């Protein structure tokens, strides 16, 4: 069974993340969207809410699961029997950053864990969780960047 882990903070999940996930679906039997805990990082949305945003967005998709993990991403992959990491690339900045991590993960996993990169569609290349957070904190309208279920959940949370 081909299992991929799509790791990230997803603070919050955006339509850019959704595009990568949907396009990756035909490549794998299962994709585990995995939110890494980082106690040093300040998040806008608490973990439970970030998990809920993803779970609700993909409630119709049996191949997508959502969970959180602590520790090294490759250890989490090994625990659940995943041989692939999935990452999205928006720009050359993303590429330079991701290349090092992917090379490290491959080596440290004894060449077991491959990172599969999908290049985002041009319409999504300007979308990042960081910018969405800034818009939300400034009380702006970030709905155009959010999946419909997340829009609803944020509206009702207000």
Catalytic sites, residue numbers? 17, 41, 90, 129
Is residue 147 a contact point for ligand ADP (CB under 6 A)?
A: no
Q: Answer whether 65's CB lies under 8 Å from 22's CB.
A: no
Choose between 63 and 98: whose C-beta lies nearer to ligand ADP: 98
| d(C-alpha 3, C-alpha 140), whole Å | 38
- Give how many residues touch ligand ADP by CB under 6 A: 16
Measured from each CB, the residue nearest to ligand ADP is 16
| d(C-alpha 15, C-alpha 49), whole Å | 17
Q: Answer whether 115's CB lies under 8 Å from 81's CB.
A: no
| Among the listed residues 4, 5, 10, 31, the single contact to ligand ADP using CB under 6 A | 10
Residue 93, both tokens:
């900045």
Q: What are phi and psi of 42, to 5 degrees?
A: -95, 125
Is residue 53 a contact point for ligand ADP (CB under 6 A)?
A: no
| Among the listed residues 64, 69, 129, 153, the single contact to ligand ADP using CB under 6 A | 129
Tally of CB atoms within 10 A around 42: 6
Is residue 88 a contact point for ligand ADP (CB under 6 A)?
A: yes
- What kind and span of H or E run contains 13? none
| Among the listed residues 5, 64, 113, 120, the single contact to ligand ADP using CB under 6 A | 120
Residues lying near ligand ADP in the complex (CB under 6 A) are found at: 8-10, 14, 16-17, 20, 87-88, 90, 94, 120, 124, 127-129
């Amino acid at each position: 069974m081909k299992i991929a882990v799509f790791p990230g903070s997803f603070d919050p999940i955006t339509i850019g993340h959704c595009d990568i996930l949907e396009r990756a679906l035909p490549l794998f039997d299962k994709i585990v969207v995995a939110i890494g805990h980082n106690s040093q990082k300040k998040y806008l949305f608490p973990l439970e809410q970030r998990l809920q945003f993803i779970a609700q967005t993909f409630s119709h998709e049996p191949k997508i699961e959502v969970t959180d993990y602590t520790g090294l991403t490759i250890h989490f992959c090994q625990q659940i029997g995943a041989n692939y990491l999935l990452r999205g690339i928006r720009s050359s900045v993303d590429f330079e950053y991701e290349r090092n991590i992917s090379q490290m993960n491959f080596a440290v996993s004894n060449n077991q864990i491959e990172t599969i990169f999908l290049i985002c569609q041009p319409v999504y290349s300007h979308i990042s969780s960081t910018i969405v957070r800034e818009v939300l904190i400034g009380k702006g309208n970030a709905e155009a960047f959010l999946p419909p279920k997340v829009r609803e959940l944020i509206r009702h949370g207000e």
